Structure 1
Amino acid sequence: MTSRIGFYVLALTAGVTALVATTPATAKTIEQEKPYAITGTTGAELYASIGQNGPEAGRNGGRVIAHTFFKLTWRRNYVPENGGCTLKSATPTLIITYTLPKPANALPPPVQKRWDIFIEGLRRHEKVHGDHIKAMLARIEQTTIGVSVANDPGCQKIRQQIQKPLSDASIAQRQQSRDFDRVEMGAGGEIQRLILELVNGD
């Protein structure tokens, strides 16, 4: 997705998921940054390098400015009772990875100052995507833990029944992220402002 503002604004993306039914991991949430190297000594050069080196994402494999990826795995406790089955507990492990640009070389002081403002704004943007993912996790816990299915002594039907709330939560998260990006990257949006200030200061 691109938008014309005197140059092309690269997209940001979030919500690539990996959902695994069970795992022996203990409950935890990890947020981590994964930098990718860019080069240049001016704002325009740095932004051009982002276009050349940014992470590939989306169906078309296009380059993006930044990317938020998450992996969500579960250890679920299904308990047969009274001929049915109940999901008594579910322990999630959530890993959120923010991929962000990082200059490989020292920058002139005026450019460094603009870069610091740019990257902090970009980091704030991606953290909102992280919040959307955490909200999705909370929704999954609220809509699946405690669910019971009758006539399911082998706890097989319940595994199918919880697929819909899992899917609904994932769809809602992706839509929320798309709506957020549409505002942030639209005319006068925060991302456009950050890019213009970085590039036009040269």
Structure 2
Amino acid sequence: MRPIAYALLIACCLTAAGAQAGVKSVVKVETYSIAGNSGDALMAEMDRNGPRHGFLARAIAQTRYSVDWDRTWLVSNGRCRLMKADVTLKVNYRYPALSGEAPPALKKRWRKFVAGVRKHEQMHGRLARRMADEAYDAAFRVTVDDDRFCRKAKAEVTQIVHAIYADYEARQQRFDAIEHQPGGPVERLVQRLTRRR
């Protein structure tokens, strides 16, 4: 069983500009080329050329994402709250792409394999979107009295947002654990691709 990996990258930026616009998504899809005349050959190509998963391993595909924040704070009567925020979720998918000629039966199996891989990776993307939406909503619920410089409010928002990120990181890992278990969806995808008939 080969892993399909995701990576979590988080970057938060505080500024005093921007309009409150909810969470915007920017999605980028990249591919890397593989070739072969059998399912085993294609798997070997993915093992050699797939995106890195850790220091040594390679993955079939990968989902990376980052969340960027631009925030404006409001102080009224000593009370601080978040007034405006632009939140951008950037999702980058990387998939294998079949190049060159391949037997028709293998092409058919490949199309089904890639569809399954995309379904898996897009679930990682949906979880990332839910994470960003939940963090955005939670940030606007924070109001702190006696906080003229917004230090307490900023610290509380940061703590809440990081807790939400941690919760969704655990959800991503649980999803992968289910998908990668013996006999699970990922193993079945590989088995169907590499079957001889």
Alignment TM-score > 0.5, same fold: yes
1:161-172 pair list within 5 angstroms: 161-172=156-167
The whole-number CA distance in structure 1 between the counterparts of 2:92 and 2:2 is 19
**Structural RMSD (CA):** 1.8
Q: Does 1:47 find its partner at 2:43? A: yes
2:14 match: 22
The whole-number CA distance in structure 1 between the counterparts of 2:10 and 2:175 is 22
2:33 match: 37
- The structure-2 alpha-carbon separation of the partners of 1:127 and 1:84, relative to structure 1 and needing over 3 Å to count, comes to same
Q: CA deviation at 1:52?
A: 0.6
Q: Does 1:199 find its partner at 2:189? A: no
Out of 65, 73, 82, the position equivalent to 2:60 is 65
Q: TM-score, normalised by structure 1?
A: 0.88
1:181 match: 176
Q: CA deviation at 1:110?
A: 0.9
- The structure-2 alpha-carbon separation of the partners of 1:106 and 1:22, relative to structure 1 and needing over 3 Å to count, comes to farther
Q: CA deviation at 1:124?
A: 0.4
2:76 maps to amino acid: E
Unmatched 5+ stretches in structure 2? none
Q: TM-score, normalised by structure 2?
A: 0.90
The whole-number CA distance in structure 2 between the counterparts of 1:18 and 1:104 is 34
1:10 maps to amino acid: R
Q: Is the 8 A contact 1:15 1:133 kept in 2?
A: no
Divergent runs of 4+, >4 A: 23-27
Identical amino acids, percent of aligned pairs: 28
Q: Is the 8 A contact 1:51 1:65 kept in 2?
A: yes
The whole-number CA distance in structure 2 between the counterparts of 1:201 and 1:169 is 45
The whole-number CA distance in structure 2 between the counterparts of 1:155 and 1:81 is 11
2:115 match: 120
